[in-house]
Amino acid sequence: MPVSLESLFSDLLVLQQASASGLPPVHLWNPPLSGDIDIVIDREGRWIHEGVEIKRAPLVKLFASILRMEQSEYFLVTPEEKWRITVEVAPLYVISASHDIREGQQAVVLTTSTGDVVVVDKAHPLWVEQAENSDQPLPLVLVRDNLTALIGRNVFYDLVDRALHASGDEAATDALYLSSMGDQFLLGYAGA
């Protein structure tokens, strides 16, 4: 009897659940808009307030925990206040990836700069968009509650390298797929 992927990678799924379990219930909070606040999350996931980077990691993690997206806009939300902020690409940023292979199946685990842990699967898909006015790829993953993370360049290149080696033909012009939790996610095309 084959083991289900959820059972096979249960420890990784528990790790993902634990990273999300301490988050406040922002989806239940519906205060009126308080206004705009001069906070920008830049392409590398840095939080900038009035032109100065917020370097205190616990403060950035707190802000990320009360972040919500509504109709393509981002807000910091508390039970009493709702402040619109600016996000250049994605509100979260992936800084590392690990690959776990068990019984011939792979799970890819991504970690963001704010401590979110996500196992790439159907509920947390990975995809690549083209950057506006550029030929640079924008690799993204759905982390939680419609919040995406931009996958850092070095992490993305590692994922591409693994996909190339998995295909067995580095000179191919075929599509490159990353396998995780039994699903395939398109990274791009070899030789393109």
**Tokens 């191919």 sit on residue:** 172
Residues in the chain: 192
Same domain, 65 and 102: no
Average pLDDT over residues 34-58: 96
Residue 160 forms part of a structural domain: yes
- Which of 52, 70, 87 terminates a domain? The answer is 87
Same domain, 57 and 130: no
- What are the backbone dihedrals phi and psi of residue 4, each rounded to the nearest 5 degrees, phi first? -70, 155
CATH code of the domain in which 60 resides: 3.10.540.10
Q: For the chain, what is the domain count?
A: 2
pLDDT of amino acid 1 = 45
Which of 116-120, 158-162, 172-176 has the highest mean predicted lDDT (pLDDT)? 116-120
CATH code of the domain in which 175 resides: 2.30.270.10
Residue predicted with more confidence, 64 or 21: 64
Tokens of 66: 């009360």
pLDDT of amino acid 190 = 66
Same domain, 75 and 97: no
pLDDT of amino acid 148 = 97
| Residue 66 domain boundaries | 5-87
Residue 192 forms part of a structural domain: no
Q: Which residues pair with 101 in a beta bridge?
A: 106
Residue 34 forms part of a structural domain: yes
Mean pLDDT of the chain: 89
Residue 36 forms part of a structural domain: yes
Measured CA distances, 102 to 9, 10, 117, 182 (Å): 8, 12, 19, 12
